[in-house]
A = this chain, B = another copy of it.
Amino acid sequence: MVTPQFDITRGSVAERVSVGLAKIGMALKARAWRAAGPTRLTPTQGQALATLRGRGTLRLDALAAELGVTAPTASDAVAALVAKGLVARRRAPSDGRAVALSLTAAGEAAADAVADWPDFLVRALGQLDEAEQTAFLRSLTKLIRGLQEAGDIPVQRMCVGCTYFQPNVHAGDRPHHCDLVDAAFGDRHLRFECADHRPATPHDASATWRRWADPLPTGDLT
């Protein structure tokens, strides 16, 4: 008779998931370095470029926070990018101490060229069908929100947490609504980076969060 007690059950599901996420993290790191060779853009430099492309103009400390590094490290990376002619460093008009970082024309081009380095992830995600990808995206949204709340990650410009986001207000497979573009959309369209993101107040954000994460009355199974 088979023993029903699987002693390898030790450890939580969350721990096992973490191991998997760490593997993905490793792959991302390795890939970023591999990609660095030809273009002469190291991972941090590439990430800085990508961030500036998405945000337009940023101050150094904001960039550092976005990259998850200290100000000196960000300063190093920016210095390298300025030397390469990819980033322009100007005095911020509002504050004489601060700098306003932005991409040069060459920087825009370099950012575009470097933009698709995580394509290998997109390919691997082909292992999942659309419904599974959507569920994954939804779970990832919750996870990232948790990291954000805990201060482990900078505040993201994602739908959930945006003033314009109205969750579960429609029936069907596009239950949410974006007030900015005035359109319905579903979980599969949720974004982590939106150029038009406008942060909601903490109070509104948590109310909206609950309406998205646990739609109380209607049993909406999208």
**Cα distance, A143 to B21, chains bound together (Å):** 10
Closest-CB distance, A81 to chain B (whole angstroms) = 18
- The reply to whether B16 and A192 form a contact with Cβ atoms under 8 Å apart is yes
- With contacts A124-B146, A130-B13, A132-B139 known, is A191 near B8, CB below 8 A? yes
Residue on B with the closest CB to A66?
B26
DSSP majority for the A interface? helix
Residue on B with the closest CB to A134?
B13
Residues of B within 8 A of A144 (CB): 20, 23-24, 124
- With contacts A68-B26, A125-B146, A137-B17 known, is A152 near B120, CB below 8 A? yes
**Which residues does A use to contact B, with CB under 8 Å?**
2-9, 12-31, 33, 47, 67-69, 118, 120-128, 130, 132-137, 139-147, 150, 152-153, 156, 174, 177-178, 181-185, 188-194
Given contacts A23-B156, A124-B150, A135-B135, 5 further A-B pairs with CB under 8 A are A7-B183, A21-B24, A21-B121, A22-B121, A27-B68
Q: Can you give 27 A-B contacts (C-beta < 8 A)? A: A6-B183, A8-B181, A8-B183, A13-B125, A13-B137, A16-B137, A16-B188, A16-B189, A16-B190, A16-B191, A17-B133, A18-B125, A24-B24, A25-B29, A26-B68, A27-B152, A27-B153, A29-B68, A30-B152, A121-B143, A121-B147, A124-B143, A124-B150, A124-B152, A127-B145, A128-B143, A132-B142
